[in-house]
Amino acid sequence: MSVPLEVDAYWKRAVHSRPSHPKRKDKVVAHLNRRSVLIGAALTASACGSTSTTKGSVLVIGAGMAGLTAANDLARAGYQVTVLEARDRTGGRLCTDRSWPDAPLDLGASWIHGIDGNPVAELRDKFGVSTVVFNQDVVTAYSGGQRIDPEAMQADLMATMTAAADLATRPEYAHTSVAAGTDLALDRAHLPADAADRMRNTMRHLTQDGFGADAEQIPLWIFGTDHAEAGDQVVFPGGYDQLTTRLATELDVRLRHVVRHIAIHESSVRVETDQGSFSADRVLVTVPLGVLKTDAITFDPPLPAAKQQAIRTLGMGLYNKLFLRFDHRFWDDADMILEYGLAQEPVAAWFPLHRVSGVPMIVALRGGSVARRIETLDDTATVTEAMTALRAIWGDRVPEPLAHKVTRWSTDPYALGSYSYPGIDSVPGDRDALAAPVADRIFFAGEATHDTAAATVHGALLSGRREATRITALG
């Protein structure tokens, strides 16, 4: 029997909402003040009653969810918008592979994390794209091929998380890592040694899964927040990229335009690409944090010190997928299957996908240093390792896979990682510093710039909307 591990579901939603710091209240006030200024500016602009059909020109760099959302909002507001995209497709980290025609594979994001009040769910409804519910509540867990008692595991996890959450709100632990915080929490939870070990591994795994980084790299304060998203989690049987494809339909999107340099001139901004130069009144940069961390795009003048600091202290995590396709299903009918006791990783997580497409497929999701290690393997070694792990649970019942698909997001030159995380030295203002405009000419959006929903699709969408509002407010 499968028992829901509600604590884990709580974690998934909490970490994917990328919570902010305990001192958030001050930020909310600041945010509200800033919003009033923007609304005031917007009212002033409309009161002036511009009669021209275009309000000015904007170049949007990047055709992911953030860029396409902003581009649509700006075009609707009367701006002349051109989107410059390095890839030969739109969507960015929404990337659906259709080489298995009966089972589109989302190589990037899969889930809308909580559909209640989620702007991505609203977009889905507007475009009439179908989704299926795929919560992460029903979990089966194994160690050495034996089922772990789910009720005992749930109780252990609850005890560990409660102790960790209590520590997380204390200022003296502001720079303590999840790894160190877990050790402290386990001291308080008084679990038997084997259960404590399992919980240590669980916390490591959950951190790698949620942030694409290791427990040593993530601050404990993320436990002291309450930004869980509400409602079912859903996935797209026909592919998540249906949303970005639809968003791009009416826009002037220039694919295969790799931006190299952005320079502010007196009353315009010049953008150099490998296909020539473009000029506009303003530029909105939505490239991933991983790209900003390199000098792939240079800025003139150089970016302000606070922004450079934020680019350094925020981390770019890694999260990869291995899809395995079989001729029949041999796994449990659970949302997620966890496997402990493997030599090469703290916990292996498997997500059965047969419910989504009807095809007997399972996907392994790996984050942090585990994902980085696996990226050094070729496909054959990656699949062999995964098959060994599956056979440790189901033995001879596991046939050879018919096909596989592996992602390697850290080597993707236009992502250089999967999603951003708060580094151990991050401070609460880092994401705002990353989002701050430069001289009201260069603007920044993208998941990493969103204060409370970074690392998600809805965070990207909201950041694009935020910057479109900011630009519109300037007239």
Ligand X SMILES: Cc1cc2nc3c(=O)[nH]c(=O)nc-3n(C[C@H](O)[C@H](O)[C@H](O)COP(=O)(O)OP(=O)(O)OC[C@H]3O[C@@H](n4cnc5c(N)ncnc54)[C@H](O)[C@@H]3O)c2cc1C
Residues in contact with ligand X by the rule CB under 6 A: 61-67, 84-87, 92-94, 108-111, 113, 258-259, 286-288, 291, 296-297, 319, 321, 409, 414-415, 418-419, 446-447, 455-457, 459-460
The one-letter amino acid at 225: T
Closer of 164 and 243 to ligand X (Cβ): 243
Structure tokens at 173: 């632990």
Q: How far apart are CA 87 and CA 245, in angstroms?
A: 14
The full DSSP string for 383-428 is: HHHHHHHHHHHHGGG-PPPSEEEE--GGG-TTTSSSEEE--TT--T
Closer of 196 and 213 to ligand X (Cβ): 213
Q: How far apart are CA 136 and CA 15, in angstroms?
A: 13
* Nearest distance, CB of residue 14 and ligand X, angstroms: 13
Q: Phi and psi (nearest 5°) for 110? A: -115, -45
The closest alpha carbon to 202, from 266, 153, 254, 272, belongs to 153
* Nearest distance, CB of residue 234 and ligand X, angstroms: 10
* Nearest distance, CB of residue 398 and ligand X, angstroms: 24
Q: How far apart are CA 422 and CA 450, in angstroms?
A: 12
* Nearest distance, CB of residue 441 and ligand X, angstroms: 18
- Please name the residues in contact with 401: beta carbons below 8 A apart, sequence gap of 6 or more: 324, 325, 326, 383, 387
How distant, in Å, are the alpha carbons of 8, 230, 330, 435, 447 from that of 259?
A: 41, 38, 47, 19, 19
Report CA 325 to chain centroid distance, whole Å.
25
Closer of 240 and 340 to ligand X (Cβ): 240
* Nearest distance, CB of residue 188 and ligand X, angstroms: 32
* Nearest distance, CB of residue 129 and ligand X, angstroms: 15
* Nearest distance, CB of residue 113 and ligand X, angstroms: 5
> Computed from CA positions of residues 337, 342, 348, 353, in that sequence, does the dihedral angle turn out positive or negative?
negative
SS3 content of the chain, % helix, strand, coil (to 5): 40, 20, 40
What SS3 state is found at 465? Answer: helix
Q: How far apart are CA 397 and CA 391, in angstroms?
A: 8
Work out the number of other CB atoms within 10 angstroms of the CB of residue 98. 12
How distant, in Å, are the alpha carbons of 109, 141, 148, 228, 370 from that of 151?
A: 30, 11, 9, 23, 28
How distant, in Å, are the alpha carbons of 130, 140, 286, 383, 435 from that of 466?
A: 27, 40, 12, 42, 10
* Nearest distance, CB of residue 171 and ligand X, angstroms: 30
Closer of 186 and 374 to ligand X (Cβ): 374
* 8 Å CB contact between 324 and 351: no
Closer of 195 and 251 to ligand X (Cβ): 251
Closer of 173 and 211 to ligand X (Cβ): 211
* Nearest distance, CB of residue 311 and ligand X, angstroms: 14
* Nearest distance, CB of residue 66 and ligand X, angstroms: 3
Closer of 83 and 178 to ligand X (Cβ): 83
* Nearest distance, CB of residue 39 and ligand X, angstroms: 25
Closer of 353 and 398 to ligand X (Cβ): 353
Closer of 165 and 460 to ligand X (Cβ): 460
Give the H/E segment covering residue 274.
none
Closer of 109 and 356 to ligand X (Cβ): 109
Structure tokens at 5: 């591990």
* Nearest distance, CB of residue 244 and ligand X, angstroms: 8
Q: Phi and psi (nearest 5°) for 325? A: -110, 135
Closer of 9 and 66 to ligand X (Cβ): 66
Closer of 106 and 332 to ligand X (Cβ): 106
The one-letter amino acid at 362: I
